[in-house]
Amino acid sequence: MADNKNDYDYVAHGTVDFKDLPPLDSETNEIMHDELRTGVSLTVFYFIMIFSIPVLNWYFPAIAFKPIWGGMTVTWFITSIVMMAMAFIIAYIHTKLYEKRLAKYDHD
């Protein structure tokens, strides 16, 4: 394996302009659109949850800064525990949808 990037002859291989590539076949195109739809939907949901924390802090400080366990506030509980669980759930949903999509298009 080469020690650094100078050991490779990048110029000899040239570059590929995406405009020169052939269009995707319909199956791959549909998979990519489904992946994009899933990713965008889950990202929007995650951002709504993340940006709800400052809203909670600003408009409902009595609830947000209420101590629950050993001085941990509701905001910190949501930010640490709930958001970590939500990240795992989002990853699980994305993986399951991806596996379902692969099974749908698997022709072997």
pLDDT single digits (tens) 9-55: 666 666 777 788 888 888 888 888 988 999 999 899 989 989 999 99
Sign of CA dihedral 92, 96, 99, 105: negative
Residue 94 and residue 38 in contact, taking contact as beta carbons nearer than 8 Å: yes
Q: Is 73 helix (H, G, I), strand (E, B) or coil?
A: strand
Please give the residue that has the higher pLDDT: either 9 or 83.
Answer: 83
Q: What is the pLDDT of residue 21?
A: 83
Q: What is the pLDDT of residue 57?
A: 94
Does the pTM exceed 0.75? no
- The gap between the terminal CA atoms of the chain, to the nearest Å, is 35
pLDDT single digits (tens) 62-82: 999 999 988 889 999 998 888
- Name every residue whose Cβ is closer than 8 Å to that of residue 73 and which is 6 or more positions away in sequence: 64, 65, 66, 67
CA 105: distance to chain centroid? 22
Domain ranges of the chain: 25-105
